[in-house]
């Protein structure tokens, strides 16, 4: 019994602290986001599934997993070495499920239906998900529609077509003005067409679908709508595109789109408070039961485990240090952090994690010539922080980490930043000149600027003489393989070449100025 209490003291307090803190912490974040940012920033799925997983798993791995490694299961029950993994899985489930239920409960119970006298009063009230208005009409203008299509799966067995219809909401039909801020009614229609049928048959089915959807949306009667639900960020972009096509200019900051609700929403949560405590309690009881079986490792085993953990901890800390701005690594770490943060926000806003659509990338700031020549020159800078999927992000992170070790010792903070930003913008300019309608994103142009700078430095005394030739050969081989791979048409070779050329020139100039300034400072 004494050994069991020893295991309890080792595991239980830390588990309670980590799990309860994770649940309450995510709830606080949820409240703050809904209050001060946007109630539609993330979908219900993100709040109730993805975020509970992340917010519980990471703290458990950091603060509890090392303690679980001090327990030893009999191989009769658990495969050798997997006891800690088995228990951490149980602890994770016992924490993540209640956390998701808490978010579901808050999401439902915090929702209120706001009543406003007219749609123009919506901005004067506290933001809500649902609204009831006493005075509301649809404008007499023609509905606008945006069409989106994509393959249903990787095997491309079918194509999914979504139609996003919008029509302006106003206090009365004559209030619609092309120069005023406005609110819109939106509705989504969807159809799935098999790729096994002929194109003629697809066109026929699509025409029928479009006609029926258009008729249904046009015949919407305000009197039948019980309340309006604010569209969340995952689909808002598509409705915005429909509004742009309506020949009326509205900024996205002023835009609010609502879906019609023909029944008042059920504001009662599917989750009872008792279920939250019950699921957490069941998990807790199961953990107490599981702690009966393992033994606490001997002092020698603990010491050996401590040595292994120390090594693991050092490697983990070394990896985490890559993302911490410090000394000469400050610029690289900031670039990594910004790119990762932007990608995470994109994903939580509804962008596909593996294959974002071109429209998604454009809305987030991709380099796109038709928009750039219309005055959106800022895209030449923003495009280097936008990525087309998680694999794209990871590839650029690896490429940057490899070359940054060769750059950081020879350039100051401002010089690294200048080299990176200028190379990225020039690379985007090359892409703009070379492609007429391509959507270009990614940090690779700026990273190639770093590689160009290394080539330039290889002809100076920046690197030891014995290493210059091998370094130059490896750089040229890496660049050559990337350019060759880019011939498949999916890679922006123009940006790569532009970044490389700018890096060679800028890297050489900046380094020479750096050496001269250093010599002058030494003399003084």
Catalytic-residue membership of 392 = no
> Quick check: helix, strand or coil at residue 433?
helix
Q: Residues 139, 363, 444, 502: which is the catalytic one?
A: 444
Hey, how many other C-beta atoms are within 10 angstroms of the C-beta on 117? 12
Closest CA to 411 of 356, 484, 331: 331
> Are the C-beta atoms of 419 and 510 separated by less than 8 Å?
yes
76 burial (CB, 10 Å; 0-12 / 13-18 / 19+) is exposed
User: Taking each helix axis from N to C terminus, what angle separates 444-457 and 465-485, rounded to the nearest 10 degrees?
Assistant: 150
Catalytic-residue membership of 95 = no
> Are the C-beta atoms of 497 and 505 separated by less than 8 Å?
no
Strands 295-296 and 113-118: unpaired
> Are the C-beta atoms of 83 and 71 separated by less than 8 Å?
yes
Closest CA to 184 of 136, 219, 216: 136
Q: Residues 496, 502, 521, 524: which is the catalytic one?
A: 496
Longest CA span, the chain = 84
Return the sign of the alpha-carbon dihedral for residues 6, 11, 14, 16. negative
Hey, how many other C-beta atoms are within 10 angstroms of the C-beta on 357? 17
The rounded distance, in Å, linking the Cα atoms of 340 and 387 is: 9
Residues carrying an active site annotation: 444, 496
């Amino acid at each position: 019994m004494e050994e069991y209490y020893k295991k309890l003291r080792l595991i239980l307090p830390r588990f309670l602290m980590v799990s309860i803190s994770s649940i309450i912490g995510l709830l606080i974040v949820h409240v703050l986001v809904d209050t001060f940012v946007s109630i539609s920033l993330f979908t219900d799925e993100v709040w109730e599934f993805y975020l509970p997983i992340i917010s519980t798993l990471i703290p458990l791995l950091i603060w509890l997993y090392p303690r679980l490694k001090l327990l030893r299961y009999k191989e009769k029950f658990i495969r050798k070495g997997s006891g800690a993994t088995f228990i951490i899985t149980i602890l994770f489930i016992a924490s993540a499920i209640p956390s998701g239920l808490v978010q579901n409960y808050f999401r439902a119970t915090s929702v209120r239906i706001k009543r406003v006298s007219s749609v123009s009063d919506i901005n004067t009230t506290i933001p809500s998900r649902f609204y009831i208005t006493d005075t509301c009409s649809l404008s007499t203008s023609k509905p606008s529609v945006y069409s989106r299509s994509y393959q249903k799966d990787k095997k491309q067995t079918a194509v999914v077509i979504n139609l996003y219809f919008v029509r302006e909401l106003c206090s009365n039909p004559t209030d619609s003005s092309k120069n005023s801020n406005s609110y819109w009614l939106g509705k989504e229609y969807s159809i799935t067409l098999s790729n096994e049928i002929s194109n003629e048959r697809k066109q026929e089915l699509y025409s029928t679908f479009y006609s029926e959807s258009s008729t249904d949306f046009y015949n919407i009667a305000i009197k039948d709508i019980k309340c309006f639900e604010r569209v969340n960020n995952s689909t808002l972009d598509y409705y915005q595109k429909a509004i742009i096509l309506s020949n009326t200019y509205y900024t996205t900051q002023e835009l609010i789109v609502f879906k019609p609700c023909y029944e008042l929403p059920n504001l009662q949560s599917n989750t009872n408070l008792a279920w939250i405590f019950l699921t957490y309690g069941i998990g807790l009881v199961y953990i107490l039961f599981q702690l009966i079986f393992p033994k606490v490792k001997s002092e020698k085993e603990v010491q050996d485990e401590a040595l292994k953990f120390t090594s693991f901890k050092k490697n983990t800390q070394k990896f985490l240090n890559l993302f911490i701005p410090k000394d000469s690594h400050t610029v690289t770490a900031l670039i990594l952090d910004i790119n990762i943060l932007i990608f995470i926000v994109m994903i939580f806003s509804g962008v596909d994690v593996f294959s974002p659509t071109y429209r998604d990338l454009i809305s987030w700031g991709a380099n796109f010539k038709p928009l750039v020549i219309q005055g959106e020159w800022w895209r030449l800078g923003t495009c280097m922080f936008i990525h087309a999927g998680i694999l794209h992000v990871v590839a650029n992170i690896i490429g940057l980490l490899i070359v940054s070790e060769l750059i950081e010792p020879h350039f100051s903070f401002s010089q690294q930043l200048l080299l990176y930003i200028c190379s990225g913008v020039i690379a985007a300019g090359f892409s703009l000149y070379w492609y007429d309608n391509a959507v270009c994103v990614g940090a690779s142009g700026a990273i190639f600027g770093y590689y160009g700078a290394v080539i330039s430095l290889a002809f100076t005394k920046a690197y030891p003489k014995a290493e210059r030739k091998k370094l130059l050969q490896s750089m040229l081989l890496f660049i050559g393989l990337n350019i060759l791979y880019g011939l498949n048409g999916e890679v922006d070779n123009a940006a790569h070449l532009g970044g490389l050329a700018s890096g060679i020139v800028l890297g050489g100039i900046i380094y020479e100025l750096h050496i001269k300034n250093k010599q002058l400072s030494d003399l003084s």
